[in-house]
């Protein structure tokens, strides 16, 4: 089991001074070393508390994890960031890795329709007029929608979908777009966009989410893809280097500490509080406590499943594109393809293509072997783009049973209602705090914001739990990591 032990180094001067001034620090467990859990742990430690992060896998990052296969780096989850990820950029500056952020340099992306790839790399609302994949009338309809969306920027926040009111929150995006903008836009722009980034269809996502996304798109910086030199793992690894992270340590049980009357036991080890920063179904499995509303929210949260499939592709064959969206009407298997050469994933001979699968296929292919997945995805991509036939060599398959939360109308309402509850039933009930993108915080930026929000909430409630001031929490020595 790997362990990183420099949590105290991450405390800010303010937090450390608070710990020295007499108020004893809490001992906090964070379960899950994805970007939301790591951000939360980092901010809690800065407030002067002792934090231990438990991670079931052998590496940190979750959907920001990078693996190296045959000398080529492969981002196994998220494959791009945006220039308007404000909290991510602030965190990168704080960690002194912001100089590794860069805008992608590549050719235009596109959307496949009727066996033809039409260029579509929008950076602003007016760019939709140049898209030739739909009729001019549809383009004008879409432009009017985006111009209208500019008025929503002050009340809608895509990275926190609990914020603001939207008259269409209770309806799905496909139905609203088909009704107001037409089926062509629904099938060949809105649905492919949702499937590219969420893997499921737009008939499952609230129109509020799409309206908030449109407001983001027409706002400052638009939709400008960026990434880290050193790839996605740069940020989670920088956070983990400043924390006590115990990789290879799968948590089996989180329950109230009945002996002390307050606090939480994580696999029998006492903590003042615990932040559970894993997908909702996993959180539900390990929780032996928590309020009824908390458990109900976890039980009702749904996810889209996918596989991330990476191939080696000869540079002489690979076309110059950033990404391709594949509508469900064109393929029931592949939803998108990213040419990671734009991030430097190449070795002078080959580059890396990563392909995501539609949730309808991904859910059924989770149990298939790598060889079967490589074969059938390569066959499908070669059917869509014959030039690649015989040139795709399988590199890596990452299975994501909980790839993306489904931000349905019902889900947005359930999360908002849960977050409005007090400490007895909502966040902090039984000493347990939930953290993650499923709390109405989409994408990497939303996950970072959620981690910071939960850290602030927990730290603001940090009153010693069930012990005299200055009394250390540890009543038994912590387990030896070498014995785990």
**What are the DSSP calls for 216-280, one per residue?**
HHTSTT-S-EEEETT-TTHHHHHHHTTSEEEET-----EEE-TTTSSSEEETTEEESEEEE-S-H
**What are the DSSP calls for 14-71, one per residue?**
HHHHHHHTTPPPPEEEEE--BHHHHHHHHHHHHTT-EEEEEESSSSSBGGG-EEEETT
pLDDT at residue 19 above 50? no
Q: What class does CATH assign to 303-405?
A: alpha beta
pTM: 0.90
Calpha distance 344→326 (Å, rounded):
23
Q: What's the confidence (pLDDT) of residue 260?
A: 79
pLDDT at residue 93 above 70? yes
Q: What integer best gives the mean pLDDT of the chain?
A: 88
pLDDT one-digit tens code per residue, 378-416: 999 999 999 999 999 999 999 999 999 999 999 999 999
Average pLDDT over residues 276-301: 96
Q: Which of 14-28, 230-244, 247-261, 442-456 has the highest average model confidence (pLDDT)?
A: 442-456
Question: At 18, is the pLDDT very low, low, confident or very high (cuts 50, 70, 90)?
Answer: very low
DSSP annotation of 427 reads T
Q: What's the confidence (pLDDT) of residue 121?
A: 66
Long-range Cβ pairs for the range 427-430 (8 Å, 24+): 427/454, 427/457, 428/273, 428/457, 428/458, 428/461, 429/290, 429/291, 429/293, 429/294, 430/256, 430/264, 430/289, 430/290, 430/291
The CATH number given to 3-62+232-301+407-483 is: 3.50.50.60
pLDDT one-digit tens code per residue, 319-349: 888 889 999 999 999 999 999 888 878 888 9
pLDDT at residue 106 above 70? no
Q: Hey, which CATH number is domain 123-222, 1.10.10, 1.10.405, 1.10.287, 3.40.390?
A: 1.10.405
Q: Give me 166's structure tokens.
A: 């939207």
Q: What's the confidence (pLDDT) of residue 23?
A: 67
Question: At 15, is the pLDDT very low, low, confident or very high (cuts 50, 70, 90)?
Answer: very low
pLDDT one-digit tens code per residue, 345-363: 888 899 999 999 999 999 9
Q: What's the confidence (pLDDT) of residue 469?
A: 35
Per-residue b or e along 239-263, where b marks 16 or more CB atoms closer than 10 Å to that residue's CB: bbebbbbbbebebeebbbbeebeeb
Q: How many CB atoms lie within 10 A of CB 129?
A: 13
Bridge-based pairing state of the strands 273-276 and 27-31: parallel
E strands, 291-392, are 303-314, 323-325, 334-339, 350-357
Residues 6+ apart with CB under 8 A from 281: 298, 301, 303, 402
Q: Which of 344, 336, 435, 445 is nearest to 381 (CA)?
A: 336
Check if the beta carbon of residue 79 is closer than 8 Å to that of residue 335: no
**Angle 426-428-431 (CA atoms, 0-180°, nearest 5)?**
135
Domain boundaries, the chain: 3-62+232-301+407-483, 123-222, 303-405
Per-residue b or e along 136-155, where b marks 16 or more CB atoms closer than 10 Å to that residue's CB: eebbebbeebbeebeebeee
């Amino acid at each position: 089991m790997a362990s990183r032990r420099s949590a105290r180094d991450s405390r800010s001067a303010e937090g450390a001074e608070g710990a020295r001034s007499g108020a004893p620090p809490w001992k906090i467990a964070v379960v899950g070393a994805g970007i939301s859990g790591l951000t939360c742990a980092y901010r809690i430690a800065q407030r002067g508390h002792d934090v231990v992060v438990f991670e079931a896998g052998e590496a940190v990052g979750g959907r920001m994890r990078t693996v190296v296969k045959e000398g080529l780096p492969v981002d196994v989850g998220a494959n791009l960031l945006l220039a308007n990820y404000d909290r991510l950029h602030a965190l990168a500056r704080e960690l002194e890795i912001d100089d590794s952020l860069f805008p992608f340099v590549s050719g235009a992306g596109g959307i496949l329709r009727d066996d033809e790839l039409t260029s579509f790399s929008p950076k602003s609302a007016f760019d939709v007029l140049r898209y030739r994949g739909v009729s001019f009338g549809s383009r004008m309809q879409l432009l009017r929608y985006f111009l209208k969306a500019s008025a929503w920027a002050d009340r809608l926040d895509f990275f926190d979908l609990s914020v603001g009111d939207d008259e269409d929150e209770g309806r799905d995006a496909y139905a609203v777009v088909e009704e107001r903008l037409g089926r062509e836009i629904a099938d060949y722009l809105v649905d492919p966009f949702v499937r590219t980034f969420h893997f499921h269809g737009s008939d499952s996502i609230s129109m509020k989410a799409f309206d908030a996304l449109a407001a983001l798109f027409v706002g400052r910086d638009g939709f400008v893809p960026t990434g880290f030199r050193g790839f996605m793992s740069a940020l989670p690894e920088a956070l983990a280097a400043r924390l006590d992270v115990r990789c290879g340590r799968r948590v089996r049980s989180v329950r109230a500490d009945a002996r002390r009357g307050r606090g939480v036991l994580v696999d029998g080890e006492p903590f003042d509080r615990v932040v559970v920063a894993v997908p909702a179904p996993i959180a539900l499995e390990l929780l032996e406590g928590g309020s009824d509303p908390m458990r109900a929210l976890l039980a009702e949260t749904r996810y889209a499943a996918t596989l991330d499939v990476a191939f080696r592709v000869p540079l002489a064959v690979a076309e110059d594109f950033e990404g391709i969206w594949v509508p469900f009407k064109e393929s029931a298997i592949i939803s998108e393809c990213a040419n990671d050469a734009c991030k430097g994933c190449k070795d002078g001979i080959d580059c890396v293509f990563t392909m995501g699968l539609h949730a309808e296929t991904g859910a059924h292919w989770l149990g298939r072997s790598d060889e079967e997945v490589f074969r059938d995805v390569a066959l499908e991509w070669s059917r869509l783009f014959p030039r690649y036939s015989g040139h795709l060599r399988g590199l890596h398959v990452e299975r994501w049973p909980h790839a993306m939360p489904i931000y349905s109308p019902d889900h947005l309402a359930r999360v908002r209602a849960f977050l409005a509850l007090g400490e007895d039933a909502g966040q902090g009930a039984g000493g347990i705090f939930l953290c993650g993108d499923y709390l109405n915080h989409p994408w990497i930026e939303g996950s970072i914001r959620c981690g910071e929000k939960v850290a602030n909430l927990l730290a603001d409630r940090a009153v010693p739990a069930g012990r005299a001031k200055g009394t250390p929490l540890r009543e038994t020595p912590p387990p030896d990591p070498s014995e785990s």
